[in-house]
């Protein structure tokens, strides 16, 4: 059975108030455009430190059957790392995009473990901050496509001491397709890493915020 966060108030609501229907196929965004989609499906909400967004994410990982695409600013959480490794072990394809500066060599990041597990990782170097916190789940499945987003970083501090919000949106394949196209655009710009690059991240320590950068989760 999928996990559910203990004592977490995970709010679920249905969104049926339609905006402007963008059509069944999501279009790539032009530089000056936004996209409006029909609101449909369900929304799961969790707030830290009162709820447990991490457990909600892990439960969503367990629901995936084909593909998990991650776009993260910080990634130090060992439980979330393990959730991705477990998904890969049961045959789910996993790929990860990370901010280059916040996951640079010497910093506390799960990047080496991802590479060593054979999970493709790419670093975003174009932006001052690649600040997205996004997970796309089974985007090609009309019934299972889901999206995770919000302010929540993949860190222990985000779970225990930060004020964060998390949304898990299910039942809106058009929305997932829009995020998928954006994820692909970012991947095309990113620097692909190789397994042998993992050792660089083990050397030294980097200065940074104690809650997220200089303490392992």
Please report where in the chains the tokens 């901010």 appear, as a residue.
Answer: 99
Three-class SS of residue 139? coil
- Alpha-carbon distance 114 to 116, whole Å? 6
The answer to whether residue 78 is catalytic is no
Distance CA 96, CA 87 (A): 13
Phi–psi pair at 85, nearest 5 degrees: -65, -40
> Can you read off the two tokens belonging to residue 31?
């530089």
Residue 179 zone, left/alpha/beta (φ > 0; ψ -120 to 50; rest): alpha
Residue 9: count other Cβ atoms within 10 Å of its Cβ. 11
**Of 88, 101, 131, 195, which one is the catalytic site residue?**
131
Identify the active-site residue in 52, 138, 212, 217. 138
- Tell me how far apart the alpha carbons of residues 54 and 47 are, in angstroms, rounded to a whole number: 10
Backbone angles phi, psi at 5, to 5 degrees: -70, 130
- 186 assigned to active site: no
Q: Order of strands across the sheet with 146-150?
A: 11-14, 42-48, 164-170, 146-150, 134-137, 67-72, 93-99, 121-124, 191-192
Q: 69: which strand partners?
A: 95, 136
- Tell me whether residue 205 is one of the annotated catalytic residues: no
Which sequence positions are flagged as catalytic? 131, 133, 138
């Amino acid at each position: 059975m999928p996990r559910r966060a203990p004592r977490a108030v995970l709010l679920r609501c249905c969104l049926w108030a339609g905006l402007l229907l963008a059509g069944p196929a999501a279009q790539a965004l032009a530089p000056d455009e936004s996209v409006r989609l029909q609101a449909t499906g369900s929304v799961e909400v969790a707030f830290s430190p009162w709820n447990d967004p991490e457990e909600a994410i892990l439960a969503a990982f367990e629901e995936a059957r084909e593909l998990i695409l991650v776009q993260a600013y910080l990634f130090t959480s060992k439980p979330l790392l393990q959730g991705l490794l477990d998904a890969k072990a049961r045959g789910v394809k996993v790929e990860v995009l990370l901010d280059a500066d916040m996951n640079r060599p010497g910093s506390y990041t799960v990047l080496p473990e991802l590479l060593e597990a054979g999970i493709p990782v790419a670093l975003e170097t174009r932006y001052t901050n690649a600040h997205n916190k996004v997970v796309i789940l089974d985007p090609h499945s009309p019934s299972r496509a889901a999206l995770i987003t919000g302010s929540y970083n993949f860190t222990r501090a985000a779970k225990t001491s930060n004020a964060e919000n998390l949304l898990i949106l299910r039942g809106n394949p058009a929305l997932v397709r829009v995020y998928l196209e954006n994820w692909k655009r970012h991947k095309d710009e990113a620097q692909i890493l190789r397994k042998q690059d993992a050792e660089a991240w083990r050397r030294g320590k980097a200065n940074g915020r104690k809650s997220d950068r200089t303490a392992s989760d």
